[in-house]
Chains A and B, each alone.
Chain A
């Protein structure tokens, strides 16, 4: 389900969370790391607007459409 975040490219800046108009991405602490990382908490509420991808400077976000939409 969109968006898909590449953990290797992510710099943990939090802009995807900040600008997502649907409040679907939340920065959360991982089990192994003290650093907060973005999690797509409400994928079923995504509008595929692509704002998270526009705001992501390192290009860590891809929009992948679910099979039911294709």
Chain B
């Protein structure tokens, strides 16, 4: 018999990563009763649970480059003006000074402890040195502790699987304890979805499914829930890949390029300028495109080259940047038998993913208050748009937490009671794979789904291929009902598979709509290989009945300037 735990609050936060952590702090500070839930232990959960080494910010330090205006212009240009200028300014860019102040007050060491100054570097098509390099290993533990100090109630190792509704209004969510098996019913006046990037939608280039470029444990819960609520998604066909260390599948590109690394081909030539005028410092999609073209031209493999860096630069790179980008970076380099002062480091292209990285125009659509347009439902972090990487997660977390709390506290309604039948149905669906007597393992299902996405909706897409993908994904609805699991850990993976299937269908539908190519591999169609002015805008999709409803919104470049 499954134990049922019911909890009520003002603001429910699904996902306690960088965005959810900040949202928890702001909502609790505003006086709301906050419920934070994460499928892992929150101090180390999410995409930056193990830390991060770079944060985009302007600091108003005096230079004409270090301002909100320059930062916002860069922010909009990187998305090719597909993100809404007003929303980007209100939910992201204008909150940068508050983000910096809050992090420093919590004790996150943004300044170099040796010099007491910020270390600023430049990469990814920035107009100036707008990255802060810092040691962010304790970022998450400090944030989660602060939210707890302010009174947020934290539920660790609980996987939220589905939302609860009263009519079309979201009134909470249900899930299960991944170690206890307990069934959780959360009732809340407002819910914030912040489960981060989706990394396992496509196959990665290594033999291990979880050896992804960004953190693999974030799943696709926010996408699944937002989709079923009727919320809209923008540009989810535009995926991102990255330059990674071959075999390790980890980037470190920002740290490397920030310090002046080169990318060279097998002939020892620097070649990226052939593909983008800014070469190594160009936008991520252009760097990936250039490396792919170079390899296809027969001049691979390609390498990171840092042999020319000064001893001081190498020390900073090896001690402060790479091992914070991923803690095990230098372990990998050593076990591979390499010395970066003397040897080249072979690179590769990572899998495609919906990562919410810098410049990414895709995700759950929100307004200038991080509201999704569905009553009771907000979103924040890299599952939302716009929100670039760590800075976007932290600032949208500030905005969503503050706005959801304000909205909740401005009304004196009691939480609506969810229907008993709806709760029972959700419970049955969540636990079904555990109750089956026979069936297939979740891994078999996931391999089939991932291969379908990589073959037909990956790098290089055509209408014919994507229609095949849509058919194959529809067939997987039945296969999903055949997954049998043996324990709670596998039950988590089975529910993730359910969420990932929904996200796969959404991406495929959106990719079919955009009849042009844009962002390099991000959306590269063999049947429409050009970037076209009439498609300069956002493909916006939402669920309607068993299918999808699609609309197109032209980019407003004038408004953006």
* Residues on A facing B (Cβ under 8 Å): 2, 18-23, 41-42, 44-51, 53-55, 63-66, 68-70
Contact = CB atoms under 8 A, between A and B. Distances in A.
Contacts of A64: 335
B215 A19 contact: no
Closest 9 CB pairs of A and B: A50-B327, A21-B40, A50-B328, A49-B50, A19-B44, A45-B210, A69-B247, A63-B328, A51-B44
Contacts of A21: 40-41, 44-46, 49-50, 215, 217
Nearest to A62: B331
Given A21-B45, A51-B49, A53-B327, 8 more contacts: A20-B40, A23-B179, A48-B211, A49-B215, A50-B331, A63-B328, A69-B211, A69-B247
B43 interface: yes
Nearest to A49: B50
A41 B486 CA distance: 14
A36 to B, nearest CB: 13
Given A49-B328, A53-B327, A68 B206 contact: yes
Contacts of A20: 40, 44
Given A23-B178, A65-B332, A51 B489 contact: no
Given A23-B492, A65-B332, A47 B215 contact: yes
Interface residues of B, number: 34
Nearest to A66: B208
A41 B328 CA distance: 20
The B contact surface, by secondary structure, is loop
A59 B337 CA distance: 23
A2 B327 CA distance: 13
Contacts of A54: 50, 137, 327
Contacts of A19: 41, 43-44
A49 B328 CA distance: 6
A22 B210 CA distance: 9
Nearest to A65: B335
A52 B124 CA distance: 31
B277 interface: no
Interface string B386-419: 0000000000000000000000000000000000
B508 interface: no
Contacts of B210: 22, 44-47
B41 A68 contact: no
25 contacts: A18-B41, A19-B44, A20-B40, A20-B44, A21-B215, A21-B217, A22-B40, A22-B216, A22-B217, A23-B40, A23-B492, A44-B209, A48-B248, A48-B328, A48-B332, A49-B49, A49-B50, A50-B50, A50-B328, A51-B49, A53-B328, A68-B207, A68-B208, A69-B207, A69-B332
